[in-house]
Structure 1
Amino acid sequence: MTVLSDLLVKLDPVKVIDGPERRADFGLDTFPSANACVESCQDFLHFMTLFHQSVQSCVWEYWPYYDYSWNRNQVFKLLRSYFGENGVEHAHLIARTGIHGGLYGLMKRIAKHAASEFQRIDIHVTVEEFLMYLDDEEKEDAAREYSERFEDYLPPELLENNGLTLLMRFEKVLENHPYMIRNVTLRI
């Protein structure tokens, strides 16, 4: 087994994509939301802060790190990124009225974001750690092996210049690998 093969096992889409998504779904499904009090904007923000903390602990698989102000700040940022400057007020209206998926829809969106952030960071760290321990010759060998194994799925421009383009973008190519494999398997 080559060093590249070892890395590709770690980048298996079932592990790095499906795993965080399953944990986010678990966090969403197990959070006690049936009796959520979201009448006031403050109550809504408090509820979403507690949910954010809970789903983060599920996705990251750690004992809940309870820093209320950090979690609240993250909720503010997410809601503003979704709905603009008045994101909290807009999201509160959605939660109260049930439009656009209501409270559950907002919770689902935050859970999905938590999973996607975990995926991005986990994949990046795994690839960065792999490349950090390779010398230049080993990187070239790994890039060559990768292009031979996956040339049918790679964009032609990456294979130009005798693989130099692939080598120059190797980190990004490897970070995209689980998604490429997922897309290929979905088409089959």
Structure 2
Amino acid sequence: MNILWDFDGTLFNTYPAYTKLFQEAVPNATQEEVFKQLKVSFSHTFKYFELGEEMQNQIRKKARELKPKELFPFPAVEEVLKQADLNVIMTHKEREDVWNILKFHKLDHYFIDMVAGDDGYPRKPDPASYKYLHEKHHIDLAIGDRELDILPAKQLGIKTCLFQNRTSGADYYLDDYHDFGSVVRLHD
């Protein structure tokens, strides 16, 4: 099975660190409120909290300055990576940041390709980056934590899996990577 992965909130549990950054900027916001908005998108969260361009730039800068040791892969995600025939990533995060995090956690060797935020492709849900990866690697499954992550795959006829999200429209739903084999049959 060839899997296309989202990065933030899917491979790595980056939301606790991002939530903290937003709470520093909006001290009266609750952790739950920030998390709920981040599950839509960073841009949505900026709009929701009415953060100006200067504050947005500060938060983005601080997010890029997070150290790989501050960001953690989800439990058992490596087991799923091992089971796949190949893994690719499509993320809005900058390529260098993604590779640094993957290398630090010794997961970089599981990925053969990536489209990153600084590669010039339109942002999700535009399907251009997914189409590129699908044509090159014949993707069987796209895994993401937000509806935004599965919409491009659905447009291309690729099976989808939402991680820790029950928004309707996915082919599979997964709350814990330990359950991957029982939820998504490898080699259907």
| TM-score tier after normalising by the smaller chain length | under 0.3
Structure with bigger gyration radius: 1
Relative to its length, the structure with more helix (as a share) is 1
> TM-score normalised to the size of structure 1?
0.26
Relative to its length, the structure with more strand (as a share) is 2
